[in-house]
Every structure is written in structure tokens, then in C-alpha cells.
């Protein structure tokens, strides 16, 4: 047991703090958080034992978790690695190619392990941190061959201790798949919220009529703007490709409905129904 520094005490950083503490993976939790309100809240609710500035936290901690929006994470990653002695640094961001490219030729590259715990909620900030968020969730470790094997094993072990299912892939493969099975869902949900809010000026009508189905598809529209703008920006090419495919699919539906051809509409729905087999 040792000490951990968590840089960024939002939903993911905070939830990892809760679970790692509960699983006795570290004995001392140091938080680094620029937002004073968030820092105070994180201390108050016991997510961390102490708030330090970045340099002091790195000096004191045996293990470092980078849990800030992906663009900022990429931008500070190299300087962070510069400062390390023998500690391990992991990131937990939703995009991987950018940060991996940034650190590709860093002399301490092997001390870094790129991870993406595929779990979350639509809420943000330290108060959004919840226990047991990672149980039975996929934890993707990317380009693991570039990291020291014993560090990868340690990272595997701590994630397994909180219920994570470890998967390995390249950063490139990860970013393409994440665009399809995570990032696009947020855009469709944001767009749905915009559409309905623009139309239904009467909030009461939405609240009254919103079925479980609407609530479920629009849930992600509550997600944090800083987190998600950064993800779309870091994964721009893949996200734009998925968006084009998605707009094509929705246009197929539009034309089928417009044409009044029931069989075409039913065929499209049947094809979509195939998702039952995988989820």
C-alpha cells in the first residue's frame, strides 16, 4: 500500500478515489484540483486526504492518475513524465491516440500506461463521484507493449480489484471503436435535447409527456461541456466519420417514412433490431 495522486477530482477521478480506497489499493490519497470549490468539496466528502499543487503531489505520491479533460491531459502529459522519478503515471481519458503520440518518444515513456475505464454517468464534479462505478466495466489498456510489463501488471491488478474487465488494444483501434460505441451517443443525445428544447418552449409539456424512452435517449445530453468538447476535438476525424454515417442512416429513415413505403421502414427497423443480439 502506498500513496496515489489523482490529478482532476471530477466524476472519474473521484469515483476511482472512492473505489481504490474501498479496495485498499492505496493508503493515502492526494488530490490536485485547480477548481477551488471542487478541491474543497473533495476534501469535505473525503475523496482525498489532502490537496496539493502538482509538483508537491508528484514528489509525494507513488502512483499518479491523470483524470482531467483529454486535451488538457495531452498538453501536460510530457511535462508530467519529465517530473517523475520511478513512479507510474496512468491517464484515464476517453481518447488515446493524441496522448500516446505526444509521449511516443519520451525517455520515460515506459513509466506511462494509457487506460480508459469505460464507465461514467451524465453528472460531473467531485459530488458526482460514486462507488462501484467500474464493476464489470471494460477497462481498455492501449499500446501496452510500450509500457514496462510490471507497471502494466500493477495497473491490471488495481483495476481488477475494483471489478474492471481488462481489454487490450491499440490507441488507434480504441479511438475508432470509442467514436462508435460512446462518442456518437453523446452527440445524438445533445442534438435530441436541442431539437426538443427549441420546439417545446413549454417545459411543462416536456416534463409531463417525456416517456421513459425519451428520458433514456436524452440522458447523456446532461453531460459536461468541457469533458465532451475535448473528446470530440481529440477524436475529430473518427467522430466526423461516424457522424457522416449516422446522418446517412437517419436520412434513410427520413426517406423511407416520407415515401410511405411500410416495408422499407420495417426492414430498416428489423436491421436495427439486430442490436438485440449483441446487447
Site for a copy of itself in 102-161 (CB under 8 A): 118-122, 137-138, 140
Compute the least distance from the CB of residue 210 to a copy of itself, in Å: 5
Nearer to a copy of itself, 75 or 217 (CB): 217
* Gap between the Cα atoms of 189 and 182, Å rounded: 11
**Does 35 help bind a copy of itself (rule: CB under 8 A)?**
no
Compute the least distance from the CB of residue 272 to a copy of itself, in Å: 4
Compute the least distance from the CB of residue 138 to a copy of itself, in Å: 5
* Gap between the Cα atoms of 79 and 99, Å rounded: 12
x-marked contacts with a copy of itself along 172-211 as a string, rule CB under 8 A: -----xx-xxx-xxxxxxxxxxxxxxxxx--x-xxxxxxx
Residues 242-271 that bind a copy of itself (CB under 8 A): 242-254, 257-258, 260, 262, 265-266, 268-271
Compute the least distance from the CB of residue 22 to a copy of itself, in Å: 20
**Of the ranges 6-14, 84-92, 144-152, 218-226, which one interacts with a copy of itself (CB under 8 A)?**
218-226
The β-bridge relationship of strands 63-66 and 88-91 is parallel
Compute the least distance from the CB of residue 178 to a copy of itself, in Å: 7
Question: Among 22, 27, 60, 222, which residue interacts with a copy of itself (rule: CB under 8 A)?
Answer: 222
**Of the ranges 11-19, 52-60, 152-160, 236-244, which one interacts with a copy of itself (CB under 8 A)?**
236-244
Amino acid at each position: 500500500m502506498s500513496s496515489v495522486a489523482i490529478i482532476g477530482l471530477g466524476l472519474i477521478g473521484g469515483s476511482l478515489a472512492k473505489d481504490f480506497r474501498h479496495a485498499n489499493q492505496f493508503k493515502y490519497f492526494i488530490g490536485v484540483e485547480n477548481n477551488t470549490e471542487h478541491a474543497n468539496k473533495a476534501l469535505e466528502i473525503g475523496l482525498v486526504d489532502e490537496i496539493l499543487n502538482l509538483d508537491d503531489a508528484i514528489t509525494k505520491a507513488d502512483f499518479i492518475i491523470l483524470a482531467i479533460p483529454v486535451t488538457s491531459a495531452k498538453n501536460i502529459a510530457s511535462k508530467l513524465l519529465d517530473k517523475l522519478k520511478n513512479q507510474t503515471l496512468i491517464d484515464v481519458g476517453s481518447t488515446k491516440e493524441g496522448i500516446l503520440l505526444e509521449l511516443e518518444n519520451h525517455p520515460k515513456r515506459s513509466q506511462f500506461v494509457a487506460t480508459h475505464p469505460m464507465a461514467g454517468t451524465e453528472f460531473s464534479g467531485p459530488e458526482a463521484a460514486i462507488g462501484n462505478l467500474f464493476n464489470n466495466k471494460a477497462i481498455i489498456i492501449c499500446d501496452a507493449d510500450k509500457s514496462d510489463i510490471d507497471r502494466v501488471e500493477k495497473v491490471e491488478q488495481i483495476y481488477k480489484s475494483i471489478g474492471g474487465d481488462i481489454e487490450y488494444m491499440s490507441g488507434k483501434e480504441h479511438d475508432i471503436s470509442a467514436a462508435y460505441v460512446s462518442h456518437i451517443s453523446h452527440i445524438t443525445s445533445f442534438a435530441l435535447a436541442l431539437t426538443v428544447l427549441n420546439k417545446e418552449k413549454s417545459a411543462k409539456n416536456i416534463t409531463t409527456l417525456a416517456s421513459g424512452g425519451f428520458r433514456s435517449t436524452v440522458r447523456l445530453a446532461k453531460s459536461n461541456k468541457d469533458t465532451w468538447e475535448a473528446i470530440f476535438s481529440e477524436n475529430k476525424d473518427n467522430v466526423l466519420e461516424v457522424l457522416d454515417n449516422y446522418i446517412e442512416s437517419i436520412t434513410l429513415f427520413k426517406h423511407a417514412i416520407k415515401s410511405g413505403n411500410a416495408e422499407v421502414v420495417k426492414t430498416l427497423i428489423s436491421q436495427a433490431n439486430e442490436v438485440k443480439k449483441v446487447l
